[in-house]
Amino acid sequence: MEFKEFAQRPDAYAKLCSMIGPSIYGHSDVKKAIACLLFGGSKKRLPDGVRLRGDIHVLLLGDPSTAKSQFLKFVEKTAPIAVYTSGKGSSAAGLTASVTRDSSSREFYLEGGAMVLADGGVVCIDEFDKMRPEDRVAIHEAMEQQTISIAKAGITTVLNSRTSVLAAANPIAGRYDDLKTAQDNIDLQTTILSRFDLIFIVKDIRMYDQDKRIASHIIKVHASGAAASSTNTEGSEGENWLKRYIEYCRATCKPRLSEKAAEMLQNKYIEIRQKMRQQAHETGRAAAIPITVRQLEAIIRLSESLAKMRLTSVATPEHVEEAFRLFNVSTVDAARSGINEHLNLSPEIANEIKQAEAQIKRRMGIGSHISERRLIDDLNRMGMNESIVRRALLIMHQRDEVEYKRERHVIVRKA
């Protein structure tokens, strides 16, 4: 009864999302995505025996120190069934299953890996980019078909791995480079990327106000943590309640799309596909993160998960709207990311912009200011094109490294 009353509250969705990683500042959309992952969509079996997964997979890709590993650790504690592993120390056999020989009987037997042990729960894989490519390929089947096929040492069998995957990875250069496309930043194959329902690019953006708020939040967390006594169980009670609520919703509620929601979903999916096709035509290259039928199924699962949080048996157009919003701020934005995509830059121009940035930083110390016209003229005399210098200033302004003052006539260097 307690759970049903909570589900009827108008702020139930916001309240649930606030319980996800309460010690982590910001990242509200990532928290909503993780809430969807914990509740999951509805599993289905088709008349021909094919099984459609209801589990949601989420990838967090981005700069160091952006709370990615903290999210993974929180999910490991909160999910009813969870296994945490690091990509650096995980092999294909460790993630799926291995065949070993008994030392006394000399008979072969199967040992389940992380994906098998977490059947019905969540696998958290940290340092996903550090895994060897041949080991990553081993989880393709486990992520989409939710089975692991074994044919080793005379043992031929199929194991269940009905599990969600929450993975964290860093870009190729360690930090996300805005002057590169998503393709050049992400060292993962499109075959594995297409299996993730939501892909978030998490950037460490240097902005004074945001940095101040984050610092204040972290200091408060440390101060309250130091003052907490062993008898203070408020935090663990909240986690236990959330775990019980997730178990209850997953066991009792199996939502389906309403007719209006299905029609809306169809129209929005076609619209996204057309936009991505247009972008590929304009840039002359396909998106690093493909938008395929798998992503349509992902939005269906997200809509069902949002309905499940409210214990409703039908996913409405409002649920589809929120699912599309989450999909747009994560996977679609990731597919379009990179200044190259927005400004249509060639590698040569991108290199010239980097050189212009270096000259601007050499010319201006932190805290110094200069007239924009004078700076452009100075760099022009050094042989740099005015449009290149302006683009470099635009990118530095987006990173909050420079600031415009006096109606954009004066530039101040901040970082």
| The Cα angle at residue 34 between residues 28 and 39, in degrees rounded to 5 | 130
pLDDT at position 342 is 44
Distances 292 to 56, 104, 153, 224, 335 between C-alpha atoms, Å:
16, 51, 37, 46, 12
How far does CA 384 lie from the centroid of its chain? 38
Task: Give every CB contact of residue 329 below 8 A, 6+ residues apart in sequence.
Answer: 29
Q: What domains lie within the chain, and their CATH numbers? A: 2-253 (3.40.50.300), 345-413 (1.10.10)
Q: Which helix (H) or strand (E) holds 288?
A: none
pLDDT tens, residue order, the chain (415 aa): 688 888 888 888 889 888 888 888 778 899 999 999 999 888 888 888 788 888 899 999 888 878 888 889 888 888 888 889 887 767 777 777 777 877 787 777 777 778 888 888 899 988 888 887 777 777 888 888 888 887 877 778 888 888 899 999 888 777 777 666 666 677 777 778 888 889 888 877 666 666 677 777 677 767 766 444 444 455 566 778 888 988 998 888 888 999 999 999 999 888 888 877 776 666 655 665 667 788 888 899 999 999 999 989 899 999 999 998 998 888 777 766 654 444 445 677 778 888 888 888 888 888 888 888 888 888 888 888 888 888 888 788 767 788 888 766 888 888 7
CA atoms of 268 and 265, how far apart (whole Å): 5
pLDDT of residue 229: 47
- The pLDDT value recorded for residue 294 is 82
Rounded-to-integer distance, Cα 330 and Cα 324, Å: 10
Q: Which amino acid is at 274?
A: Q
Amino acid at 222: H
Please give the helix or strand (H or E) that residue 43 lies within, else none: none
Q: Which two tokens stand for residue 136?
A: 């990553």
| Helical (H) or strand (E) element with 318 | helix 317-327
Q: Residue 303: its pLDDT value, please?
A: 93
Cα–Cα dist 263/175, whole Å: 40
